[in-house]
Amino acid sequence: MKSGNLGYPRIGGNREWKKALEAYWAGKLDEAALHAELKAIRLGNLQRQREKGIDVIPVGDFTYYDHVLDTTAMLGLIPDRFGHTGGEPGLDVYYAVARGSKEAAASEMTKWFNTNYHYIVPELNEAAEPRLTRNRPLEAYREAKDELGIEGRPVLVGLFTYLKLAKGYAPDQLTGWIDRLLPLYAQVLRELQAEGVRWVQLDEPILTTTLSEEELAQVHRIYAYLTLEAPGIQLLVQTYFEAVDAYEAVVGLPVHGIGLDFVHDGGANRAALRKHGFPADKVLGAGVIDGRGIWRADLARQSALLTELGEQVAPERILVQPSNSLLHVPVRAAGEQRLDATLREALAFAEEKLEELALLARIGREGAAAVAGELAAAERAREALQQSPSRRREPVQRMTAELVAQPASRAGDVQTRRAAQEARWQLPLLPTTTIGSFPQTPEVRSARLKWRKGEWDDARYEAFVQEQIREWIDIQAELGLDVYVHGEFERTDMVEFFGEKLGGFAFTAGGWVQSYGSRCVKPPIIYGDVEFLAPMTVAETVYAQSLTDAPVKGMLTGPVTILNWSFVRDDLTREQVAYQIALALRQEVEALEAAGIGMIQVDEPALREGLPLKRDKWAAYLEWAVKAFRLSTCTVRNETQIHTHMCYSEFQDIIDAISALDADVISIETSRSHGELISSFEDGTYDKGIGLGVYDIHSPRVPAVSEMTGMIERALRVLAPEQFWINPDCGLKTRKREETVEALRNMVTATRQLRERYAAKTPSR
């Protein structure tokens, strides 16, 4: 029994990867220096996996931005608007696809299955001429072998997953695209075979979604062709994030190994293997260590699982793996000395998970007695956290149970609330606002760091934050926005900020994970019962409101997003934890309303990413997710307007759930998806206020007024002007001041042009 890995965090132990990319984009690092710095990180990652005892090490999982974009570039499928004329795209084109340029909008970015990682969506054009521009897996294999003597296992995004995640073609064109790209995949494999590569890992997480018989037949055709074209290579088809529905079809693929997730499968993969067995001529990649969570594994339990698997599969054909790539967890927990020792000892980040994999493989070879001490230490650490007072807060548990038993409904219906809110606010047609945050300049970050280090006292830091708030209230007034925000200058992250003020959360010093591109987040750890301690946002919001007669929105992060963007304790269900967060947020909403704040935005950008991959599980998730949001917001008066925001996901198929949130106004990203979401509202059944983001804040380009008016007019074909709001597609924290002001000015100008045009056609508000 051997240990294997599926992928490793790219960002480096101290986010060296992020810093190198951003230095290059800022012109502070030339291309040669960028290549050198990223190579050092890449080789360091491989060396670390070897040092931790991993037998099978993946190569080719490293990227300069995103692994799906790497596949697009490798296949020569750069969209025409970037002016690429053929051959391997240079870094300027590569990053333009990801981030946009002055000449061209970036490609769409969306969630990687049900994670908080974002990939760049491939755009397929029938006129495109796919070609292999560069054999990236081969280069990665050669580098690992030549530089470190590591016989790595190259990793590719599987062809079927790549095509199912792409856009730009009709369903009946899928076969044609397979036929066009399959020879290129075969060419990659033939060149790897000529190099002497033994195994190749093809990631096909799409196989854990529900596929038709026709689609499964296409998958079989793909792998029959690849096996025939490169008979000297052994192929591992790797699935993850859920169980495979069509177990017999998947394990029957004409390949040499199948990787299955035994952590997030709900027991279904295990049950299918017991019922149907496993092919005697294949290797089983057994995903038994959680690649998405940060807790120590129950090694005795997972060892027993491996023993059970060994009754169906010869132990020498079992590869002990994480459930998925370790891309989704931080690099190392060992350095988190600021954490309480009981909590720290219960953590396992990427490095610690490698150790767990190696330990389980050793148990499979030598027996548990050989590592009895390590097993006992792991169990003591897990049990110590479970018995800690933080997980036994009786008042929280009692109040949460009482909350869940209550109705989660506003006092008035939509029409009653709309009338009360229009009477209170008297907003113009097509009201303008922003999503919440304004640029976090180096001065803002420096001030926060000085305060955290104790170089500034609370009074000085508060004065600085108020100065920033005052400046941006003035800017919003000068721009002519209708509804203001305070700018969130006191917040590092929309989840971390709240977690730091609630009981039951802990924060790491270096627990960073990649979200998109160079954007890294440091998810809080929900380790105990969540408890409201004191108002969290009232002071800054009330101060901002004191500076203007325009309404200022209170800004909160919703319970489901706090849940989905945190590492969550594993002794309660996610539903139970969501209700605890909802209880705390309800108290904050009530505190804002009591302080005179009449517009409150409770953001849920992560609502959709929590959806199970299986559609038959959606209803149960959406029921409790919607309930958690409503429990947070339902006690306010009719005239208090509840807003929410969602970004970068495909919302078309959960519009009913979005409506069920019962927010008075919702803003949804639509700029990067080029307005495609607008079609979801063509049936005219959505009856609440809505803002479909009119420009992309993740790109440094400033859209022209005409571009924004076109986006707004497209929306107004299916939405009534009186229900439509105008806003960017997301918060502006990552943008620079100058581009922010210019883009918002264009947004207001576009709005005023259309306001004049539609005012005569629309009844008075």
Output the known binding site for L-homocysteine: 435-437, 488, 603
Q: Which residues, other chains included, contact 146 with Cβ-Cβ below 8 Å and sequence gap of 6+?
A: none
- The rounded distance, in Å, linking the Cα atoms of 547 and 230 is 69
Q: Is 672 exposed, middle or buried (0-12, 13-18, 19+ CB in 10 A)?
A: buried
- The rounded distance, in Å, linking the Cα atoms of 730 and 736 is 14
Residue 574 is which amino acid? R
- The rounded distance, in Å, linking the Cα atoms of 625 and 674 is 28
- The rounded distance, in Å, linking the Cα atoms of 466 and 12 is 35
Kindly give the residue spans of alpha helices, DSSP state H, lying in 603-736: 618-633, 655-660, 705-716
Kindly give the residue spans of alpha helices, DSSP state H, lying in 100-173: 136-148, 159-165
Is the distance from CB of 418 to CB of 664 less than 8 angstroms?
Answer: yes
- The rounded distance, in Å, linking the Cα atoms of 42 and 200 is 19
- Identify the bridge partners of residue 432 per DSSP, sorted by sequence position: 726
**Residue 139's Cα: distance from chain center in Å?**
29
Binding residues for 5-methyltetrahydropteroyltri-L-glutamate: 15-18, 111, 116, 519-520, 565, 609
Percent composition of the chain: helix, strand, coil (DSSP 3-state, to 5): 45, 15, 40
**Three-state secondary structure along 585-625?**
HHHHHHHHHHCCCCEEEEECCCCHHHCCCCHHHHHHHHHHH
Q: How many CA atoms lie within 13 A of 416 on its CB side?
A: 7
- The rounded distance, in Å, linking the Cα atoms of 435 and 419 is 24
- Tokens 């080719």, located at residue: 60
Number of other CB atoms surrounding residue 717 within 10 Å? 10
Kindly give the residue spans of alpha helices, DSSP state H, lying in 262-371: 268-276, 299-309, 341-344, 350-366
Can 698 be counted among the known catalytic residues? Answer: yes
- The catalytically annotated residue of 118, 328, 643, 698 is 698
- Edge-to-edge order in the sheet of strand 553-557: 553-557, 599-603, 641-646, 665-668, 689-692, 724-725
Phi, psi for residue 529 in degrees, rounded to 5? -65, 135
**Residue 325's Cα: distance from chain center in Å?**
14
- The rounded distance, in Å, linking the Cα atoms of 9 and 5 is 11
- The rounded distance, in Å, linking the Cα atoms of 430 and 751 is 7
- Identify the bridge partners of residue 347 per DSSP, sorted by sequence position: 295
Question: What SS3 class is residue 504?
Answer: strand
Buried b (16+ CB within 10 A) or exposed e, 517-552: bbebbbbbbbbbbbbbeebbbbebbbbbbebeebbb
Hey, which residues are catalytic here?
Answer: 698
